[in-house]
Amino acid sequence: MKDNTLDVFQNAPVPNAVLSNVIPSIISMIMVLLYNLADTFFIGQTKNAYMVAAVSVATPAFLIFMAVGMLFGIGGTSLISRMLGEGKNDKAKHTSAFCFWSGLAIGVVAMILIWIFVKPVCRLIGASDDTIGYASEYLAIVAAGIPFLIISNMFSNIIRAEGNPKKAMFGMIIGNLLNIVLDPVMILVLGWNVAGAAIATVAGNVFATVFYVIHLLSKNSMLSIKPKDYMVRNKIAQGVLAIGIPASLNSILMSVSNIIINNMMMKHGDMAVAGLGVAMKVNMIVVMLLIGLGTGVQPLLGYCFGARNKKRYMSVLRFSLLLALSLSLVMTVICYCGAGPLVTAFLDNKDAFGYGMSFARIYIYSGPILGILFVLINAIQSTGAAIPSLILSVSRQGLLFIPILITANIVFNTPETLAMAQPITDYLATALAAVLFIITYRKYFKNF
């Protein structure tokens, strides 16, 4: 089994090794992107901008649930790829079982809490009197799928660590494609509106989870989710959380920052909130592709690090950075020039469209450097460097973004300057990531 799944990590030419891992990861992210866009697109076809705003408002809560999956997914991937590189296959099994059962328990608790406090949560994340009904309806249904959302997001990463990027990709495709197919049926044909969008989302995550569980219980997987393999000791929990917490913190802080900007933007009206939500969706076209590139290369980097193969590690990193820069530039041009048609697909309200168009072009200013940022983030995580990962995670969407956002609100207090806070943050975060990677490289590779 090892020969079949890990041979690419060990022996394939660097461009082939990178592309064979990155392409399935990017395809997975494209499916995630389409699934995220589908809800907003088909809700937009109802011609009710308040529904669009409600789904946009609910997004930060959704990101928090995904952050739990990322905690175990990124943390588990980092540890498992290093353990396989060191030949510690049993510890890799214990790690995957730890991630599965811990994530499932957290998901069940979160589901219950959201059902109990759904309306206060919606108020907290920026729902107005006009959107609270739609937002709480959407979130209450989505809550039923939280355990499945966590597990599907978790194993879409972890399965790549065992050298199965295509299997990880297929799971994402199955879940997201089902969601995309169900959206128009439930939202438009059956007339279930935001409830239909939520049901489609839950169904997609359930099917993806079932796909991954079947694979993990088969003889084709080197990993395990059997209860008997669950283990916290032997530095398994510590190893997962050391990288997983910083990775999830970035997503949680992204959610917090979205809540803050939604509340600030609400002062300019619900149409500004709707426009911002659509602009974020348009920007996701670039972001998700580049996240796919970064997460796709992380297991390969982690394996090289675990195998103490410094030369191959650096060759993989150089090729990945060049690929990231090229893809970033191409996608920036496409999304900037195509902002008008993309925003029109979601909004036909004149005021909301004006905001959406302006915000979409402001957000895409980050495009040229995002690929470099995500590759460097994953390169740091691949070494198990907890402190640099933590610093970068709390800085990008927290220590950097939130002060910049608050300053823009106080000094200028315009919708456009609030949107500009994100590109400014991304350039500063990329510079910080470069510095932290140099520090990590000098510390962790000095004895190789």
Distance, in Å, from the CA atom of 327 to the CA atom of 364, rounded to the nearest integer, reads 14
Per-residue pLDDT at 5: 58
Distance, in Å, from the CA atom of 275 to the CA atom of 358, rounded to the nearest integer, reads 9
> What is the separation, in whole angstroms, between the first and last Cα of the chain?
28
Per-residue pLDDT at 112: 94
Question: What does the radius of gyration of the chain's CA atoms come to, in whole angstroms?
Answer: 21
- pLDDT tier, 6 (very low <50, low <70, confident <90, very high otherwise): low
Give residue for tokens 């599907």: 152
Classify 50 as helix, strand or coil: helix
Question: What mean pLDDT is predicted for residues 223-230?
Answer: 91
Question: What mean pLDDT is predicted for residues 18-36?
Answer: 83
Question: What mean pLDDT is predicted for residues 409-431?
Answer: 91
Backbone torsion region of residue 235, taken as left when φ is above 0, otherwise alpha when ψ lies between -120 and 50, otherwise beta = left
**Can you read off the two tokens belonging to residue 195?**
């409830």
Distance, in Å, from the CA atom of 402 to the CA atom of 439, rounded to the nearest integer, reads 25
Least confident of 95-109, 116-130, 172-186, 210-224: 116-130
Host H or E run for residue 66 = helix 49-85
Distance, in Å, from the CA atom of 289 to the CA atom of 402, rounded to the nearest integer, reads 25
**Can you read off the two tokens belonging to residue 184?**
């128009």
Per-residue pLDDT at 341: 84
pLDDT tops 80 at residue 12: yes
% residues pLDDT > 70 (the chain): 98
Are 51 and 43 in contact by the 8 Å Cβ rule? The answer is: yes
- pLDDT tier, 3 (very low <50, low <70, confident <90, very high otherwise): very low
Per-residue pLDDT at 2: 45
Host H or E run for residue 347 = none
Which residue would you say has higher pLDDT here, 417 or 53? 417
- Closest residue by Cα to residue 436 from 386, 367, 399, 371: 386
- Closest residue by Cα to residue 272 from 368, 122, 409: 409
Q: Which residues have CB under 8 Å from 250's CB, separation 6+?
A: 392, 393, 394, 396, 397
Per-residue pLDDT at 4: 53
Which residue would you say has higher pLDDT here, 204 or 28? 204
Per-residue pLDDT at 448: 67
Per-residue pLDDT at 327: 93
pLDDT tops 70 at residue 125: yes
Question: What mean pLDDT is predicted for residues 349-368?
Answer: 86
Question: What mean pLDDT is predicted for residues 115-137?
Answer: 84
Question: What mean pLDDT is predicted for residues 124-148?
Answer: 85
Would you give the DSSP letter of residue 365? G
Distance, in Å, from the CA atom of 88 to the CA atom of 6, rounded to the nearest integer, reads 13
Distance, in Å, from the CA atom of 57 to the CA atom of 66, rounded to the nearest integer, reads 16
Q: Which of 162-166, 312-316, 407-411 has the highest mean pLDDT?
A: 312-316
pLDDT tops 80 at residue 56: no
Distance, in Å, from the CA atom of 134 to the CA atom of 57, rounded to the nearest integer, reads 10
Question: What mean pLDDT is predicted for residues 92-97?
Answer: 93
- Phi, psi values for residue 112, rounded to 5°: -65, -45
**pLDDT, mean over the chain:** 86
Per-residue pLDDT at 246: 80
Q: Which residues have CB under 8 Å from 294's CB, separation 6+?
A: 324, 371, 374, 375, 377, 378
Classify 348 as helix, strand or coil: coil
Question: What mean pLDDT is predicted for residues 109-134?
Answer: 85
% residues pLDDT > 90 (the chain): 32
Per-residue pLDDT at 426: 93
pLDDT tops 80 at residue 271: yes
Q: Which residues have CB under 8 Å from 25's CB, separation 6+?
A: 160, 165, 168, 169, 292, 293, 295, 296
Question: What mean pLDDT is predicted for residues 222-246?
Answer: 89
Q: Which residues have CB under 8 Å from 388's CB, separation 6+?
A: 380, 436, 437, 439, 440
Which residue would you say has higher pLDDT here, 349 or 327? 327
Per-residue pLDDT at 160: 85
pTM: 0.74
User: How many C-beta atoms lie closer than 10 Å to residue 15's C-beta?
Assistant: 12
Backbone torsion region of residue 193, taken as left when φ is above 0, otherwise alpha when ψ lies between -120 and 50, otherwise beta = left
- pLDDT tier, 1 (very low <50, low <70, confident <90, very high otherwise): very low
Are 175 and 207 in contact by the 8 Å Cβ rule? The answer is: yes
Distance, in Å, from the CA atom of 129 to the CA atom of 107, rounded to the nearest integer, reads 29
